[in-house]
Amino acid sequence: DTGVSQNPRHKITKRGQNVTFRCDPISEHNRLYWYRQTLGQGPEFLTYFQNEAQLEKSRLLSDRFSAERPKGSFSTLEIQRTEQGDSAMYLCASSLVRTGGNEQFFGPGTRLTVL
Amino acid sequence: SQKIEQNSEALNIQEGKTATLTCNYTNYSPAYLQWYRQDPGRGPVFLLLIRENEKEKRKERLKVTFDTTLKQSLFHITASQPADSATYLCALHTGTASKLTFGTGTRLQVTL
C-alpha cells in the first residue's frame, strides 16, 4: 500500500500525559499537513511542512503541540500535558506541490481519547 | 467573519436520482475549491477540484459547479447508488496558502 499511513490508529491516554503520533506520507510528496477533526465537523488545519520546513502553524496549535518532519520524510505530532479537549481524530495528509491547486491525500487518522 | 456553510442536515435520496449538495462561503476569495468524500472512521478522499476561472468540472457521475459571484459551489452525483452514501466535504484553497479550509460536510444517504 503506497498511501499515507498513520500510527497508532487509536490512542487512549490520561489527562496530563504526553502522546506522539506518526505520519508516513506518500514517498514522492513534498508537502505534509496535520489536521484535527471532531465529531460533526470538518477537518481543521493545524500545520504543514514543505520538505523539512514547517511553513505555517494555525493559531489553534497551542504551545503544547509540536510537530516535526526530520529529513522531509515522516512527521511526528506531539501533544504534551494532554487535556480532555484534545480528544479528536488527528489526520495527516500529503501532496505534491505544483502550479495547480494541490489535491491532498489523507491517512486513516489517529483517534485520540483523553480520559 | 469567514464561513463555509454546507447543509448540516442529512440528504436522503432514492437510488437512481441525482443528489445535489451545496457549499456556500463568505469572506473568502478561493483560487480553488475541492470536494472530498469521507466514510465513518476514515480520512477524506479527494474527488474533484475546480478553479476560480472554471464554471463546471465533470468526472464520471460527478459534476461540480463554481460560481464566484454567488460564492457557491454545487456538487452533483447522478444515478446515485447506495455505495455513494457518505459525508461530502467542500474545502477552499487560497492561492497564497497551502492549507485547506473545510466546511462541516453534508451526509448523503442513498436508499434502495
Consecutive 10-residue averages of pLDDT for chain B (112 residues): 87 97 92 94 95 93 95 97 97 78 96 92
pLDDT at A1 over 60: no
Q: How far apart are CA B62 and CA B57, in angstroms?
A: 8
What is the DSSP-derived secondary structure letter of residue B83?
Answer: G
- Quote the cell numbers at residue A99: 502550479
Task: Tell if the CB–CB gap between A106 and B45 is shorter than 8 Å.
Answer: yes
Omega before A8 within 30 of 0, i.e. cis: yes
- What's the pLDDT at A60? 78
Q: What is the pLDDT of residue A101?
A: 67
pLDDT at A98 over 80: no
Backbone φ, ψ for residue A51 (5° rounding):
55, -125
Q: How far is Cα A92 from Cα A7, in angstroms, rounded to an integer?
A: 10
Q: Which one of B98, B102, B104, B106 would you mutate to disrupt binding with A, by most A Cβ within 10 Å of its Cβ?
A: B98
Assigned C-alpha cell, A30: 513534498
* pLDDT at site B2: 80
Chain A residue numbers with beta carbons less than 8 Å from the beta carbon of B49 are: 100-101, 103
